[in-house]
Amino acid sequence: MPEQTYLEAIRAGLHEEMSRDSSVYVLGEDVALGGPFGVTKGLSEGFGVHRVVNTPISEGTVMGLAIGAATAGLRPVVEIMFIDFITLAMDQLVNHAAKLHYMSGGQLKIPLTVRVQCGISGAMGAHHSQSLESWLAHVPGLKVVMPSNPADAKGLLKAAIRDDNPVIFIEHRGLYRTRGKVPDGDHLVPIGRAAVLREGKQVTIVALANTVGVALAAADELAGGGISTEVIDPRSISPLDVETIVESVKKTSRMIIVHEAVEKGGIGAEITATVQEHALYYLDAPILRIAAPFAPVPASPSLEKQFLPNQACIVKAVRKLFG
């Protein structure tokens, strides 16, 4: 099983799907040059400029073009440089891509994948560091996935490209250089299935994207103090694997949710409400959320560090659950 970076795994997934299916096209700003972080580097040389298409700096136009291509039978993969910029394409994405299958009585399929980069890393400031996954998960008709490691990045991307529905594939730029083993062959990760990364008996931590590694480190620290922690990576937030999370909470009786998005209106609130509906009488303590404060992301490196949920926050919260 070879080791790859998160970035390399995404590129490999794109290459494999473009080789397998000639209807897969890549579109976006500077994608033929590799994109802002080099994810698509080399694809235009391998597949030609007609399948790796540089576009104007107009996210709404690009999204509309891709939706039209999808209705015509292609499988476009659109790159939006930063999730902050997806706001410029929300009309096309929310009012057309998400609804056309329903509005056409099932006659139209929208096999569209939108690759978008999110997260707090590198002191890029308020316009390049947001986590807006809960906005997108609120829209019926859109699937939303957030891989936390190279194997899942490749497997979920391949699954997204093969899906007949629009899938928002959210990449955390703080993970691009992280490394991990990626299975050989046609590796697919089913959309809508969570991963239990560490089994435990006393508390469940549900963490997203870049916070998964932080949660696992916190679990190691807590184990030294005698607290057995289960760590779950949802991988997909729409659809959400409710069963895996609820069964874990029924076993541990305590839960903490960790994400980089601001706490107010974040996906953690939805997970909290869902778990309480299914497992309220199993809980021995309130469900806690650890997230960013309700403020724009600061550009200062020192303030950015304080803004992020960290290992100490998680450990403190878990110990609070035990009084």
pLDDT at residue 267, rounded to an integer: 97
Q: Which among 84, 169, 133 is positioned nearest to 269, based on CA atoms?
A: 133
Domains and CATH numbers, the chain: 3-181 (3.40.50.970), 195-321 (3.40.50.920)
How far is residue 135's CA from residue 193's CA, in Å, rounded to a whole number?
A: 20
Residue 152 confidence (pLDDT) above 90: yes
How far apart CA 308 and CA 259 sit, in angstroms, is 9
112-125 pLDDT, tens digit each: 999 999 988 888 78
**267 in Cβ contact with 292 (< 8 Å):** no
Cα dist. 224→56, 213, 218, 220, 318 in Å? Answer: 53, 17, 10, 7, 13
**Closest alpha carbon to 113 in 74, 149, 147, 140:** 74
Q: What angle do CA 256, 257, 262 make, to 5 degrees?
A: 135
Q: What angle do CA 148, 235, 288 make, to 5 degrees?
A: 90
Residues 6+ apart with CB under 8 A from 115: 10, 28, 39, 77, 78, 79, 80, 157, 169, 171
Distance from C-alpha of 297 to C-alpha of 274, rounded to nearest angstrom: 28
Alpha-carbon distance 115 to 169, whole Å?
A: 5
**207-263 tens-digit pLDDT:** 999 999 999 999 999 999 999 999 999 999 999 999 999 999 999 999 999 999 999
pLDDT of residue 1 exceeding 80: no
Apex 154 CA angle, 179 and 310, nearest 5? 50
Computed from CA positions of residues 289, 190, 70, 103, in that sequence, does the dihedral angle turn out positive or negative?
Answer: negative
In angstroms, rounded to a whole number, what is the distance separating the alpha carbons of residues 149 and 179? 8
Read off the pLDDT of residues 64-106 as tens digits, 9 standing for 90 and up.
999 999 999 999 999 999 999 999 999 999 999 999 999 999 9
Query: Which H/E stretch holds residue 24?
Result: strand 24-28
pLDDT of residue 238: 97
Query: Mean pLDDT, the chain, as a whole number?
Result: 95
Contact 115, 171 (CB under 8 A): yes
∠ at Cα 241 (310, 163), nearest 5°?
A: 110
Q: For residues 180 and 153, is the Cβ–Cβ distance under 8 A?
A: no
Residues annotated as part of the active site: 128
